[in-house]
């Protein structure tokens, strides 16, 4: 097979025999209904079905985590006990909010749902390399969720999602259940990572070279590397914690001769790369969406591709920046601080490339693009505040304050969650075969944007002025800082607005299932391969075209008013 | 299929008629390559999994070498050495099994797999003997708690302190020249011993779990080989289980000197 080079071929992804009427969705023969029956879903090997089931479960996890978020916000609105009476109760709220959001929602959110659904189609493969392992990943995820639900049933844990010993080795409550749940979820993540790495290495069709792959796949590749290398370290850390609780092995508990700071090193050795598991696929989605909705070739393809790998690599070298005040030596602190500054660089490269892509592009503000733009803004703020935290002096000042809380919410919620929503709005027509109301989607984006900023910006302010995190009663701080209550009230109003916006997103999308018009194959005019098949896709993936073209060239697509979607220009 | 890329894995296999070829792979060769790559990546995750424990070992040993010196006095070197030889032997038989599968020698394959399982079981048996020795002298961390759980007694759980059989420990230390320890010194050494035992049991128990999983996997291959599932055309599972088994062996090869051969 002749290798085709990077050319602007007249027909980007022309599929011989492709007809316009193929664009109109017909669920009669899609992956949703073919094969029929509940058993075929429960034991499916189809990556599209697995991705969809992950999506549903992940959405439920988001709702659960958001519920805890609202409880926290309500409690913090006024100083003193508001809806909970004790620190113990409040500690359980933020522990569960953190653990659910991180382990059940964000970490699997993009790789396991969109990654599973889209990766084989974008690549031109028939499925992932190990479909049974994929199904096993889904089962492990569900089992992990069950463990966390059991934790809730048994009263929750109050150790913080970070499970620091010596408190966690002796704390009351189902810590071992929580830790086992996270262990199992970790393996779900590892197996997804293995699947994606092998798929991308061995199942690219002829012509789909590394540098012809869409950038979302490069992002998933970086993510998979981290999933495979970092998650086992979390697994052993949690295993040792559980064993220490149950049997008194003295690894972390100083009373038994252990070292609590060792736990912090192990824990953050995973958990820092974990945040890159969260953000890399997010950035991949933003890359795709920005290119499509600027109708312009992505700027700096290779820079973006390599920056994903650079983030994955550098992300392993900076875990100590979570431990500047743990008593580690100042030299070690300085080294981690310097490395933390370097890991910001690839992220900044991506932001510049996105902006350069948009420059002189033809920008369409459909909901995916709204969220991608929101991502750039909010992640920009989050990332820059990360630099403040990477600097030793400022870190010591704001460590364990609301400033940190604001920083990671700007990056995780203002970043990863926004990109998740962008991906949801972007691929929804493909996954379900339905179009949703664009106007209401845009309204949801606005509501979320305003609500989010109202929630978290005040937390930067009060955090820098000394409001500690994980405190439920800040009455004593009011003497020196009477304005804290005011900012907390704004934050709570914003929180409800933010969650209201999320509820609106859910409403818009679910309503589309009943009242949305059938989606064409390519409503957005994208040039990656998953848009070549019908919406929703058939059970068997569409074979890739004989010539793999450039997936960021949009000239070869024209809008067809009859189907309200894009079709390939006939040659 | 003939050509430069033909191997035993692909010779004679026709994509359309090959029952072992999964629907999503184009060629059997690609399926085999994918499977091997997937297994290697899984082995990397296993290395990182154990790596955390080895790192804990390193940190403790660097910060407090006395823990490890005292601790290794209580491990049985001859038994450990015997186990090492047994496990290396099992790796040899496993490698021979893979070769037998690749060359289509079914009887040889079955024999080698049986030998591997036997070696693995011997390893587990010796481990059991060692663990029992520790248990008898109350040197398993958390032993008191385990007694408490199984005894059905009500009341508070015993405090998480490591309290080994004092006469045994004193006797062992005296044999090395540390005689007539006063109570404070003894307590200090006993506490150190607790940390060592924690690291020892974590490492070896986790390894033993992996050996058990390996035995199960080899047994599965053994059943398959009896049924004639593997041959020149298709031996991927044997290959992959072999890779896994070699990793398990290699981890023990690191464990043995680090735990048993401390100077």
In a domain, A500, yes or no: yes
Task: Name B241's Cβ contacts closer than 8 Å, sequence gap at least 6.
Answer: B94, B214, B217, B218, B220, B221
Domains of chain B: total? 1
First to last CA, chain A: 22
For A508, the token pair is 């818009």
Closest CA–CA distance from residue A127 to any residue of chain B (Å): 6
In a domain, A317, yes or no: yes
- Which pLDDT does position A292 carry in this prediction? 97
- Which pLDDT does position A548 carry in this prediction? 85
Three-state SS for B162?
coil
- Which pLDDT does position B2 carry in this prediction? 46
Of B34, B51, B59, the CB nearest to A202: B34
Task: Name B28's Cβ contacts closer than 8 Å, sequence gap at least 6.
Answer: B9, B10, B13, B15, B18, B20, B21, B233, B234
> Cα–chain-centroid distance for residue B180?
38
Give which of A192, A202, A254 to mutate to test B binding, by max B Cβ within 10 Å.
A202
Cα separations in angstroms, A52 against A111, A195, B72: 12, 17, 53
Closest CA–CA distance from residue A25 to any residue of chain B (Å): 24
Sign of CA dihedral B8, B13, B18, B22: positive
For B203, the token pair is 């490492």
Q: Are A568 and A555 in contact, with CB atoms under 8 Å apart?
A: no
Sign of CA dihedral A212, A215, A216, A218: positive
Which CATH number covers residue B216?
1.20.120.80
Note the pTM of the prediction, 2 decimals.
Answer: 0.92
- Nearest alpha-carbon partner for A287 in A303, A310, A273, A311: A303
In a domain, A387, yes or no: yes
- Nearest alpha-carbon partner for A543 in B23, B160, B189, B139: B23
Which CATH number covers residue A556?
1.20.210.10
In a domain, B176, yes or no: no
Return the number of CB contacts < 8 Å for A and B. 123
Closest CA–CA distance from residue B107 to any residue of chain A (Å): 30
Phi first, then psi, for residue A323 (nearest 5°) are: -125, 25
- In chain A, which residues have their Cβ closer than 8 Å to the Cβ of B45? 190, 194, 228-229, 231-232
State pLDDT tens for residues B134-187. 999 888 888 877 777 777 766 666 666 778 888 888 888 888 887 777 888 888
- Which pLDDT does position B3 carry in this prediction? 43
In a domain, A5, yes or no: no
In which domain, by residue range, is B90 found?
35-135+186-260
Average pLDDT value for residue range B79-92? 96
In a domain, B45, yes or no: yes
Of A202, A247, A257, the CB nearest to B30: A202
Cα separations in angstroms, A466 against A327, A387, A478, B24: 21, 19, 11, 57
- Which pLDDT does position B155 carry in this prediction? 65
d(CA A436, CA A422): 13
Of B34, B51, B206, the CB nearest to A129: B34
In a domain, B179, yes or no: no
Domains of chain A: total? 1
pLDDT at B214 over 90: yes
In which domain, by residue range, is A384 found?
24-568
The alpha carbon torsion through A432, A434, A439, A443 (nearest 10 deg) reads -20
Per-residue pLDDT of chain A (571 residues; tens, 9 = 90+): 332 322 233 323 333 443 434 444 445 689 998 889 999 999 999 999 999 999 999 999 999 999 999 999 999 999 989 999 898 999 999 999 999 999 999 999 999 999 999 999 999 999 999 999 999 999 999 999 999 999 999 999 999 999 999 999 888 899 999 999 999 999 999 999 999 999 999 999 999 999 999 999 999 999 999 999 999 999 999 999 999 888 888 889 887 778 899 999 999 999 999 999 999 999 999 999 999 999 999 999 999 999 999 999 999 999 999 999 999 999 999 999 999 999 999 999 999 999 999 999 999 999 999 999 999 999 999 999 999 999 999 999 999 999 999 999 999 999 999 999 999 999 999 999 999 999 999 999 999 999 999 999 999 999 999 999 999 999 999 999 999 999 999 999 999 999 999 999 999 999 999 999 999 999 999 999 999 999 899 999 988 888 888 999 998 899 999 988 999 886 5
- Which pLDDT does position A257 carry in this prediction? 78
Q: Are A191 and A108 in contact, with CB atoms under 8 Å apart?
A: no
Interchain contact, A240 vs B25, CB within 8 Å: no
Q: How many of the other CB atoms lie within 10 Å of CB of A163?
A: 24
- Nearest alpha-carbon partner for A311 in A240, A202, A386: A386
Q: Are A131 and A47 in contact, with CB atoms under 8 Å apart?
A: yes
Cα separations in angstroms, A152 against A42, A175, A177, A235: 26, 11, 10, 21
- In chain A, which residues have their Cβ closer than 8 Å to the Cβ of B62? none
Interchain contact, A198 vs B199, CB within 8 Å: no
The residue written with tokens 């010596």 in the block is A166
Strand partners for A566 = A559
Helix axes A301-314, A215-247, angle to 10 degrees: 10
In a domain, A9, yes or no: no
Residue of chain A whose alpha carbon sits nearest to that of B161: A256
Q: How many of the other CB atoms lie within 10 Å of CB of B20?
A: 12
Residue of chain B whose alpha carbon sits nearest to that of A133: B38
């Amino acid at each position: 097979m002749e290798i085709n080079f990077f050319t602007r071929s007249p027909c980007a992804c022309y599929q011989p025999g492709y007809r316009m009427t193929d664009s109109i969705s017909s669920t009669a023969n899609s992956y949703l209904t073919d094969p029929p029956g509940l058993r075929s879903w429960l034991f499916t090997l189809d990556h599209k079905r697995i991705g969809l089931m992950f999506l549903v479960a992940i959405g439920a996890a988001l709702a659960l985590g958001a519920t805890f978020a609202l409880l926290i916000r309500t409690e913090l609105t006024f100083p003193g006990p508001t809806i909970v009476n004790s620190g113990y109760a409040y500690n359980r709220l933020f522990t569960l909010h953190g653990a659910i959001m991180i382990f059940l929602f964000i970490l699997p959110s993009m790789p396991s749902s969109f990654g599973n659904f889209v990766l084989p189609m974008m690549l031109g493969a028939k499925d992932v390399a190990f479909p049974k392992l994929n199904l096993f990943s889904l089962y492990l995820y569900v089992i992990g969720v069950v463990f966390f639900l059991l934790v809730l049933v048994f009263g929750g844990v109050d150790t913080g999602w970070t499970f620091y010993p010596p408190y966690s080795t002796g704390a009351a409550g189902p810590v071992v259940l929580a830790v086992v749940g996270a262990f199992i979820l970790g393996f779900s993540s590892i197996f997804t990572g293995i699947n994606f790495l092998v798929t991308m290495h061995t199942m690219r069709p002829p012509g789909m070279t590394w540098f012809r792959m869409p950038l979302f796949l490069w992002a998933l590749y970086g993510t998979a590397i981290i999933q495979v290398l970092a998650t086992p370290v979390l697994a052993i850390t949690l295993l040792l914690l559980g064993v220490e609780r149950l049997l008194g092995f003295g690894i972390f508990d100083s009373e038994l001769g252990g070292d609590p700071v060792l736990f912090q090193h192990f824990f953050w050795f995973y958990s820092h790369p974990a945040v890159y598991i969260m953000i890399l696929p997010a950035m991949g989605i933003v890359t795709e969406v920005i290119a499509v909705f600027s109708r312009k070739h992505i700027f700096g393809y290779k820079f973006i591709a390599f920056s994903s790998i650079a983030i994955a690599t550098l992300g392993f070298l900076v875990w100590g920046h979570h431990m500047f005040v743990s008593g580690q030596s100042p030299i070690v602190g300085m080294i981690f601080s310097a490395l933390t500054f370097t890991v910001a660089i690839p992220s900044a490269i991506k932001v510049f490339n996105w902006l350069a892509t948009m420059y002189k592009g033809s920008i369409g503000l459909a909901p995916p693009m709204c969220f991608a733009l929101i991502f750039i803004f909010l992640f920009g703020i989050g990332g820059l505040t990360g630099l403040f935290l990477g600097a030793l002096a400022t870190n010591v000042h704001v460590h364990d304050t609301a400033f940190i809380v604001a920083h990671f919410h700007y990056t995780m919620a203002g970043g990863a969650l926004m990109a998740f929503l962008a991906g949801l709005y972007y691929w929804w027509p493909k996954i379900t075969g339905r179009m949703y109301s664009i106007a209401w989607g845009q309204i949801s984006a606005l509501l979320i944007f305003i609500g989010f900023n109202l929630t978290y910006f005040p937390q930067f302010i009060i955090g820098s002025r000394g409001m500690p995190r994980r405190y439920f009663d800040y009455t004593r701080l009011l003497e020196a800082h009477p304005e804290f209550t005011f900012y907390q009230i704004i934050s709570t109003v914003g929180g409800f607005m933010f969650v209201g916006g999320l509820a609106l997103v859910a409403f818009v999308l679910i309503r589309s299932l009943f009242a949305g018009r059938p989606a064409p194959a390519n409503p957005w005019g994208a040039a990656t391969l998953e848009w070549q098949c019908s919406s929703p896709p058939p059970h068997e993936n569409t074979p890739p075209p004989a010539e793999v073209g450039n997936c960021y060239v949009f000239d070869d697509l024209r809008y067809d008013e009859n189907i309200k979607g894009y079709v390939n220009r006939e040659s | 299929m003939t050509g430069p890329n033909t191997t035993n894995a692909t010779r004679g296999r026709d994509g359309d008629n090959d029952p072992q070829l999964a629907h999503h792979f184009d060629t059997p060769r690609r399926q085999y390559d994918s499977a091997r790559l997937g297994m290697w990546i899984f082995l990397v995750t296993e290395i990182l999994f154990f790596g955390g424990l080895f790192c804990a070992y390193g940190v403790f040993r660097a910060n407090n070498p006395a823990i490890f010196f005292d601790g290794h006095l209580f491990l049985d070197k001859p038994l450990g050495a015997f186990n090492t030889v047994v496990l290396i032997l099992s790796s040899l038989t496993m490698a021979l099994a893979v070769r037998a599968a690749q060359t289509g020698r079914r009887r040889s394959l079955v024999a080698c797999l049986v030998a591997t399982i036997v070696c693995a079981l011997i390893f587990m048996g010796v481990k059991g003997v060692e663990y029992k020795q520790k248990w008898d002298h109350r040197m398993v961390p958390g032993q008191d708690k385990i007694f408490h759980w199984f005894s059905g007694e009500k009341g508070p759980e015993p405090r998480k302190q490591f309290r080994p059989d004092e006469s045994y420990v004193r006797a062992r230390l005296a044999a090395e020249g540390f005689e007539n320890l006063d109570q404070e010194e003894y307590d200090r050494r006993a506490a150190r011993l607790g940390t060592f035992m924690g690291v020892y049991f974590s490492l070896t128990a986790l390894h033993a779990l992996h050996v058990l999983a390996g035995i199960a996997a080899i047994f599965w291959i053994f059943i398959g080989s009896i049924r004639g599932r593997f041959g020149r055309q298709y031996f991927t599972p044997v290959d992959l289980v072999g890779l896994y088994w070699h990793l398990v062996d290699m981890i023990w090869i690191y464990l043995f000197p680090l735990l048993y051969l401390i100077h």
